[in-house]
Amino acid sequence: MIKITNYADWLQVSEKEQSLLLFVKTTNCSVCEGLYPKMQELQVETSIPFYMVNASDVKEMAGQLSLFTAPVVLFWRNNKEYARFARFISLGDIRNVLKELDDMGNSHV
């Protein structure tokens, strides 16, 4: 999982990748820490690139993307939000969206 450290990096990544998953966590979030390894395991099942941001560290990104809770899993497609899951996240739902995006293809723009 590639770490996003500032909003400018996010803008560049979101424009470059046709599809991507963004895992959003915050500092001292035990649910985030528990979900993170499961997300890493899912990463090997797909061609979709995974990114991670700590919203506590990149506050501008949290504001721009309306990240008011954690954890959040955002799916991005063609530089737009495709799907969002927050707080109570089902790995089955994540797998379903990953499959949809994989089926659409994932080439770089």
Specify the CATH number for the domain of residue 29: 3.40.30.10
Residue 22 placed within a domain: yes
pLDDT over 70 at 6, yes or no: yes
Model pLDDT, residue 108:
45
Residue 91 placed within a domain: yes
Residue 50 placed within a domain: yes
Contacts of 58 (CB under 8 A, 6+ apart): 4, 5, 6, 7, 10
> Percent of the chain at pLDDT above 70?
96
**Number of domains the chain is built from:** 1
The boundaries of the domain holding residue 55 are 2-104
pLDDT over 70 at 106, yes or no: no
Secondary structure of 24-81 in the HEC alphabet?
EECCCCHHHHHHHHHHHHHHCCCCCCEEEEECCCCHHHHHHCCCCCCCEEEEEECCEE
Residue 109 placed within a domain: no
CB distance 98 to 41 below 8 Å: no
